[in-house]
Amino acid sequence: MPAGMLYLDHAATSPVRPEVLAAMRPYLTDVFGNPSSHHTAGEAAAAALEDARAQVAAFLGMRARDVVFTSGGTEANNLAVKGIVLGGERRHLVTTPIEHESVLESAAYLQRFHGVDTTLLPVDAHGAVDPTTLSDAITDDTALVSFAHANNEIGTVQDAAAVIAVARDRGVPVHVDAVQSAGWVDLAGLQADAVSIAGHKLGAPKGTGALGVRSRIPIEPLLHGGGQERGRRSGTENVAGAVALAAAVTLADTERAAAAASVGEEVRAFIAEVLRTVPGSALTGSPTSRLPGVASFTFAGTSGEAVLLELERRGVVSSSGSACAAGSDEPSPVLLALGIPAAVAQTAVRFTFDRTPPPAGLGARLAALVADAVRAVAA
């Protein structure tokens, strides 16, 4: 990243934190053993792996035996959706149209190859699910309810407690994709049956993540082999990655409340100033139930990609939405599901902040740059 650039695409990825790099370094060098090996080097690695598992479990509000280390959020979501559905006899899945591609494509796979029906719950204009629609959607054949705690494009935070309560009342397990909400919202109190997180959103390296899935939930593994991770994810474990993830979630949990307050205050000021000064601007997602570090807008009458280029010329790096859909010329399915017209959806620009307390007045200065960039595109 060039000096002086303001990086505001943390929903896509964040840099590795120095504390995390320091924690994992010994397991890339001196403590290199295979944790399945029964000798001193292997036992040292196994001890570090189990310590990391306990830390991640505490972050998720689960037991250590519930944590499965994965290569990231996509694998965790695939393991949850495919694994839990295929681990039982029921063949109906309930999710929403605004989920991450890793959930929606898993649902499509299950339908193509295993005859699993999927119900997509509608969302309102802010991207929120009405829990009463879930109760109507659940049948005697429902195997799983899967939803994102917070949407990666618009930042809307679902009423997870209400959704989980409805599913639990009907005896259906719930998977929560917490890749975006981890580090911003308390996950230990969720009481979900399965929770996905990704390390690279939290200051750990790409290629690290975990699925917390309660041991009472039957799950079919995606990867077969030596039976690591209690038979739920075979393959030699990435010990350094697990240690890095544990360090990242521990830091995030310690900083969460203060970060949400300081970042949230500046982002709210930024949102208000953009809406006040930029003609045609509109906030996407909930104005209240949203992640503190997400501000996503449409700028009617412009091109979102052109605005992004103008912002980068002014030293601001942001995005048009999900990094996993980068390069697509199609309007965001998330924004279309909110009822936003396709032409307007293609003007979307998303700003996502990390948990570092921003300098005072950043919101107003950033809004001025946005206004200048939009004017340049509209001219």
Q: Which position has the token pair 């107003």?
A: 364
Taking residue 217's Cβ as centre, other Cβ atoms within 10 Å add up to 17
Dihedral sign, Cα of residue 264, residue 322, residue 12, residue 210: positive
* Mean of pLDDT values over 154-163: 98
Inform me whether the pLDDT recorded for 64 exceeds 60.
yes
> Cα–Cα distance between 228 and 235 in angstroms, integer?
6
Q: Is 12 helix (H, G, I), strand (E, B) or coil?
A: coil
Please, how many CA atoms are within 13 Å of residue 39, restricted to the half-sphere of its CB? 6
Give the start-to-end residue ranges of the domains of the chain: 6-13+256-378, 18-252
Report yes or no: 94 and 146 within 8 Å, Cβ to Cβ: yes
Query: Across residues 161-168, what is the average pLDDT?
Result: 97
| pLDDT bracket for residue 4 (50, 70, 90) | confident
**Above 70 in pLDDT, residue 323?**
no
The sign of the CA dihedral 279, 282, 288, 293 is negative
pLDDT for res 329: 66
Strand-pair partners of 177: 148, 196
The average confidence (pLDDT) of the chain is 96
Superfamily of domain 6-13+256-378: Aspartate Aminotransferase, domain 1 (3.90.1150.10)
Which whole number is the average pLDDT over 354-367?
94
Which range has the worst mean pLDDT, 247-256, 326-335, 347-356?
326-335
358 CB neighbour count, 10 Å cutoff: 19
CATH of domain 18-252: 3.40.640.10
Residue that wins the pLDDT comparison between 330 and 39: 39
What pLDDT band is residue 330 in, cutting at 50, 70 and 90?
confident
Same fold, 6-13+256-378 and 18-252: no
**Catalytic residue positions, numbered:** 324
pLDDT at 250: 98
pLDDT score recorded for residue 80: 98
